[in-house]
Amino acid sequence: MKTKKTSLFQRFLNMVETTGNRLPHPVTLFAALALLVLILSWIVSSFGVSVEHPGKAGEMITVNNLLSAEGIKYIFTQMTANFVGFAPLGVVLVTMLGIGLAEGSGLISAVLRGFVLSVPQRLITLGLVFAGVMSSVASDAGYVVLPPLGAVIFAAIGRHPLAGLAAAFAGVSGGFSANLFLSGTDALLGELTIAAAAIIDPTYAENMNIAMNYYFIAASVIVLTVVGAWVTEKVVEPRLGEYTGEFREKLEKLKPIEKKGLTWAGLSIVVAGILISLLILPSWGPLRGVEGDMPIIRSPFMSSLVPIIAILFFVPGLIYGKVTKGIRDDKDVAAMMSATMASMGMFIVLSFTAGQFVAFFSESNMGLVIGVYGAQFLDSINLTGIPLILMFILISAFINLFIGSASAKWAMMAPVFVPIMMQLGYSPELTQMAYRVADSATNIISPLMTYFAIIIAFAQKYDRKMGIGTLISVMFPYSMFFLLFWALTLVVWMLFGIDLGPGSGIYYNK
């Protein structure tokens, strides 16, 4: 009996899956990294390693031994503070309070469904990819709503449902770091980047804001929507061929009560937006910055984006729920928000170990030492500019195949790479954007991505033989073209020296 020969590509995917499955849980991984930092701080400090502080001429920095008497005292006395002070913890939980209500009331599902249904059939692919990209403003809600909805839409209009599912999944996951609006991801990664920048230059970090990538991610929406639609219609759909399965379904339009709820929810956003603008635009606005000193960008408003985002989800979610009778009283509101917090349990546990790792790494001063030596090494091999950024993108994209959480990876990478790039003259904002490009583009081919198994379950409704390898083969063209064109867009941005966001340039000036 002949054994079917496995292709080189399939063997590579099998290796990725096997290797990825051997990695410990992220909670365990961060605990191990925290322990590793303690041990390395003892070893490196024993050699008396020191470097000149990159931001303070003449000041020498040595590695602190965290296993010394003082170090052990720090570990135990600051453990709680390291957890509570872990930057993404409060950011994510506050944001999810608003998003959770909007999701629980049915608002997010209705908005996504209504948008896609309103698009003409000839533009349905563009509309579906666009909706997927934009869904990141609602955190992970798009993963659950849009892929099965994309399959339903394509099946209803006589196209292959798996192509619709793939297009939606590509937009939701591959385009997770692109949006016309700021989202929890901007706040989450931004706080980690600001903390990493403070290792080199605390003054520079104080003037950073979480909207540091806004201009670029807004422009990226157009790039990814066009590329995603092209890949769907020219590569993926022809490869899948004609759908011969038995599953057929009709797409349900929005009910009158849902339309009424969306109308009132939309009006509530307008009202909330006007009220918030009154806190910013007038000269007497309490969230306005100092006159003549970039009153909007360098202002309390930029530091208040997290609660503002939460409010802009909470208010329309509440109104929609009241109109559609999904919310009867304050008990329903509390229950929906509580359910969201309950779903964040794993993130909270992860924040404890990640918080210790980040704090230990900072306290040990190894970030500064690695940053200085890393910059000297890269400078010695003349790897700077665009080749340096492209190399960093490839490294990040590869790491993403094995660690699914964007925040988990960035919590590990930011304290190392942000200082290195700053030493070479590149801004923390640019380093973060390069990471986001890589992280998003390879999400859709990583078996370890949180929602990968759910997407397979959705796909098996139309193809019972669908497995990890099949899904990866369907999604690989999206990943490849997203990474290529998104990286090229960043290169163009660098060549023209365009700011990545408000007050966020390409280069770092000491």
DSSP per-residue string spanning 296-307: TTSSHHHHTHHH
User: 85: burial class by Cβ within 10 Å (0-12, 13-18, 19+)?
Assistant: middle
Q: How confident is the model at residue 455, as a pLDDT?
A: 81
The type of residue at 438 is: A
Q: Tell me, what's the pLDDT at 243?
A: 84
User: What is the span of the domain harbouring residue 429?
Assistant: 24-44+64-262+325-496
What per-residue confidence (pLDDT) applies to 19?
Answer: 59
Task: Please give the pLDDT value at position 293.
Answer: 44
What's the pLDDT score for residue 291?
56
Whole-number Å distance between alpha carbons of 476 and 7:
15
Helix, strand counts (H, E) of the chain: 23, 2
Total domains present in the chain = 1
Asked if residue 273 belongs to a domain, the reply is no
**Domain annotation covers residue 5:** no
End-to-end alpha carbon distance in the chain: 69
Give which of 156, 167, 171 is closest to 233, Cα–Cα: 167
Q: Is 501 a domain residue?
A: no
How many angstroms separate the most distant Cα atoms in the chain? Answer: 83
Quote the pLDDT of residue 81. 94
Amino acid at 456: I
Domain assignment of residue 38, yes or no: yes
Q: Is residue 139 part of a domain?
A: yes
The whole-angstrom separation of Cα 142 and Cα 127 is: 14
* 145: in domain: yes
> Which residue type occupies 238?
P
pLDDT at 17: 47
Predicted confidence at residue 466, as pLDDT, reads: 72
Q: Is residue 17 part of a domain?
A: no
What averages of pLDDT result for each successive group of 10 residues across the chain (510 residues)?
A: 54 56 70 91 89 69 91 94 83 81 85 76 90 80 79 83 94 93 83 90 89 95 97 89 73 86 94 90 78 55 78 92 92 91 81 86 80 70 86 86 71 84 92 95 79 78 76 87 96 96 89
Is residue 97 a part of any domain in this protein?
yes
